[in-house]
Amino acid sequence: MLTTIVVINSLIGCSADKRREEIDKKAEKILADKQFEATGKKSPFSIERPSDILRKRLLKGQNLPISGKASLGAENLDKIEHWPEKNYPAPVISGKTADINDVNNAVVISLLQALEIGAYNSFDYQTRKENIFRSALDLELERNEFRNIFFAQIQNLTSTDTTGNRTVSGNVLSPSAGVNRRFMNGTEVASSIGIDLAKLLTADKESSYGLFTDMSITIPLMRGSGRHIVTEPLVQADRNVIYAFWDFEQFKKDFAVNVATNYLSVLQQLDVIKNNIADYQSRIASAKRSRILADAGRIQEIEVDQAVQNELSSRQRWIRSFQSYNEQLDNFKVFLGLPPDANLVLDPNELDKIVELYKKIIADTQAQSQSENLDANDANSFVQLIEPEYENKGRYEIEEVNAVRLAFFNRLDLRTVEGQVYDAQRKVTVAADALRAELTLFGSANIGSRRASVGSAANDNARFVTNEGLFQSLVTLDLPIERTAEAVAYRDSYINLQQSVRDVQSLEDSIKLDIRNALRSLLESRENMYIQVKAVEVAQKRVRSVNLFLEAGRAQIRDLTEAQDALLLTQNNLTSAIVQYRIAELEIQRDMGVLEIDENGLWKEFVPLSRE
């Protein structure tokens, strides 16, 4: 019997790997269709995590400590007892290595490489992709509710009856097959056909067979009828796949901006280290010079102590900046899905590239600063404050109303909450339907006879005549007398509708607020760049002047310390202003929904048609 089962199992192809591959193909077909419907494009989509992602290559190539085989991925696990598929999960080679070949030594990554690395290594990124795949599986399950559901089974009953005057032993073999179908108007049809073969193993070894067919139909006429009621779970599952794609697209934009923000923040801290090194070297030189001046009797000994204290404080800042840099770098590596102990650094030239983007603004500001002269005769005159101007505005400093309109047109999360309003409206109609009376027609036909027990082996063989059988019909009317639970659900559906409407309104306000804040940030950062360029120039001039005055005995160490502090602060502030302006550009593109992210996590920035 066991051999028969194995043969049948292999013939109908229900092995675990075949089933998984079959459902994967269906889900992939759904995803391909829905991706185009949701985003208007078709791009490769897979939840199979590559085995050659940078995380795993770093763990192996740099011989980093791991806790076990799970650290290297599911494909590296030992197969447990009764594991259904020998070769799954299997290694997947994608070639998506972000152009990084040598991982045995220090790995230097650019900003674009960081974006691609995050798309393939981030845990959150992978989870979001799997959520889309799961929504496709849910849709496939709902679609299956309206397909022909075939079934087949074989029962073999062996029994021995010793309760009578004689012992009776025998078998009853009962193969049967059938099909069930649910239609989108609520009608359900079920049919089956089977054969019973009862045979005694004792006495005269009598046998008898039975032939039978059962058919039934259920038709709801009131409550629970109608395509819009019956197919509601299917409609919702279909829309959930669209929502999942929209959510993922919005997540990719957020993720890319967060990668850039963290990347540039780390480089900004690296620039702080560079400034602190220069400052520390300057303080060391000042302390030495103060010692010489004190020995020459040109300054007091207390000023030497001040210079030494300043040197020590500068050293402390230098050390702290190193620790802060390493901490931020480790956090960034974890954000990308990489081990924090990996030997990986960021390309410092990326910060220079950003400075290059705004060098015209900086150059114009420096020229303007050099051409400005203070007229002593105007010192006591009325001072007119000049508000920030938009003459040299950046390409993303567009008019607020246009930015909001772009956001309302492109923001996918807004489409989602708007779609959920329609979902809530449908839920109201479904809840209202549940308040109605239930009127159901049921019909059945049972033709032939069964041989369900060993004792029936002595009966005559069954006669199968299509017009001879048991035919029944039933009409059920359930009056809507008690509908408390349904009434509560109906009232609650209106509350949910109102909440979904408020969700749209809340997100609209949030989008407007984001746009307004982003435009303010752009303006402030641009003006801050102007200010900090001037401030650095003034601070450098101040340090040079104080050094000359100190040599001439017309200044104190305290004056030099203040000048050096101001220079360090303005240098760091200038870098911060440049970084913040670049981040603000990315943020407003994200907030307007115009920052495009491809399947590899790389962005394509929005190019305004004209400067407003």
The pLDDT tens digits of the residues spanning 36-72 come to 999 998 888 889 888 889 999 999 999 999 999 999 9
Give the phi and the psi of residue 326 in degrees, each rounded to 5. Answer: -65, -40
CA–CA gap between residue 605 and residue 589 (Å, rounded): 8
pLDDT in tens, 401-417: 999 999 999 999 999 99
> What is the C-alpha to C-alpha distance for residues 392 and 363, in angstroms, rounded to an integer?
12
Burial classification of residue 278, based on how many CB atoms lie within 10 Å of its CB (0-12 exposed, 13-18 middle, 19 or more buried): middle
Beta strand segments in 114-202, E: 149-161, 168-182, 188-200
DSSP bridge partners of 196: 210
Q: Which two tokens stand for residue 259?
A: 């990668």
Which tokens in the block code for residue 352? 């220079």
Burial profile 210-242: b = 16 or more Cβ within 10 angstroms, e = fewer: bbbbbbbbbbbeebbbbeebbbbebebbbbbbb
DSSP 224-289: T-SHHHHTHHHHHHHHHHHHHHHHHHHHHHHHHHHHHHHHHHHHHHHHHHHHHHHHHHHHHHHHHH
Q: What is the pLDDT of residue 306?
A: 84
Place of tokens 């609520």: 186
Tens of pLDDT, residues 474-508: 999 999 999 999 999 999 999 999 999 999 999 99
5 pLDDT more than 70:
no
Summarised one tens digit per residue, pLDDT across range 591-601 is 999 999 998 89
Residue 338: helix, strand or coil by DSSP? Answer: coil
Average pLDDT over residues 276-289: 87
pTM score:
0.87
Give the model's confidence band at 379: pLDDT under 50 very low, under 70 low, under 90 confident, else very high: low
Q: How many angstroms separate the CA atoms of 372 and 385, rounded?
A: 15
The proportion of the chain whose per-residue pLDDT surpasses 70, expressed as a percent, equals 88
Mean pLDDT for 575-600 is: 91
Q: Residue holding tokens 């039975």?
A: 210
pLDDT band at 219 (very low <50, low <70, confident <90, very high): very high
* Of 497, 354, 487, residue with least CA distance to 433: 487
Strand partners, 150: 179
E strands in 465-604 = 469-478, 596-597, 603-604
Rounded mean pLDDT, 150-178: 83
Rounded to whole angstroms, how far apart are CA atoms 371 and 155?
A: 99
**Are the C-beta atoms of residues 526 and 252 closer than 8 Å to each other?**
no
Q: Is 305 left (phi over 0), alpha (psi -120 to 50) or beta?
A: alpha
- Mean pLDDT confidence for 451-461: 68
What percent of the chain clears pLDDT 90, i.e. is strictly above it? Answer: 52
| Neighbour-count burial of 134, counting CB atoms closer than 10 A to its CB (0-12 exposed, 13-18 middle, 19+ buried) | middle
pLDDT at 26 > cutoff 60:
yes
> What is the model's pLDDT at position 289?
82
Residue 473, pLDDT score: 92
Q: What is the pLDDT of residue 373?
A: 47
Question: Residue 229: is its pLDDT beyond 90?
Answer: yes
In the predicted model, what is the mean pLDDT of the chain? Answer: 86
- How far are the Cα atoms of 227, 443, 476 from residue 440, in angstroms, in the given order? 16, 10, 5
Tokens of 229: 């009621």
Contacts of 303 (CB under 8 A, 6+ apart): 290, 294, 556, 557, 558
Residues in the chain: 612
Q: Is pLDDT above 70 for 372? A: no
Does residue 11 surpass a pLDDT of 70? no
> Do the bridges between strand 438-448 and strand 344-346 make them parallel or antiparallel, or are there none, so unpaired?
unpaired
Q: Is the pLDDT of residue 13 over 60?
A: no
Q: Name the residue among 321, 308, 338, 412 with its Cα closest to residue 98.
A: 338
Closest CA to 521 of 579, 568, 573: 579
Q: Of 87-96, 179-188, 314-323, 504-513, which gets the smallest average pLDDT?
A: 87-96
Backbone phi and psi for residue 576, each to the nearest 5 degrees, phi listed first? -60, -40
What the chain holds in terms of domains, given with CATH numbers, is 46-105 (no CATH), 149-182+187-223+438-478 (no CATH), 234-372+389-419+499-599 (1.20.1600.10)
Q: For residue 15, what pLDDT band results from cuts at 50, 70 and 90?
A: confident
- pLDDT category at 248 given cuts 50, 70, 90 is very high
Q: What amino acid occupies position 147?
A: R
Angstrom distance (rounded) from CA 173 to CA 200: 12
Residue 612 is predicted with a pLDDT of 47
Instruction: Respond yes or no on whether the N-terminal peptide bond of residue 233 is cis (omega within 30° of 0).
Output: no
Lookup: tokens for 531: 């200010």
What is the predicted pLDDT for the residue at 555? 73
3 state DSSP class of 606: coil
Return the SS3 of 322: helix
3-state helix, strand, coil in the chain (%, to 5): 60, 15, 30
Which structure tokens are listed for 515? 């746009």
Average pLDDT over every residue of 430-437: 95
Average pLDDT for 553-581: 83
Instruction: Give the alpha-carbon dihedral of 16, 18, 20, 21, to 10 degrees.
Output: 160
CA distances from 9 to 3, 83, 171 (A): 10, 18, 23
| Radius of gyration for the alpha carbons in the chain, expressed in angstroms and rounded | 38
Q: Please, which pLDDT band fits residue 273 given cuts at 50, 70 and 90?
A: very high
What phi and psi, each to the nearest 5 degrees, are found at residue 178? -170, -175
**What is the H or E stretch that residue 465 is in?**
none
pLDDT surpasses 90 at 429: yes
Q: How far is CA 314 from CA 69, 299, 557, in A?
A: 46, 22, 15
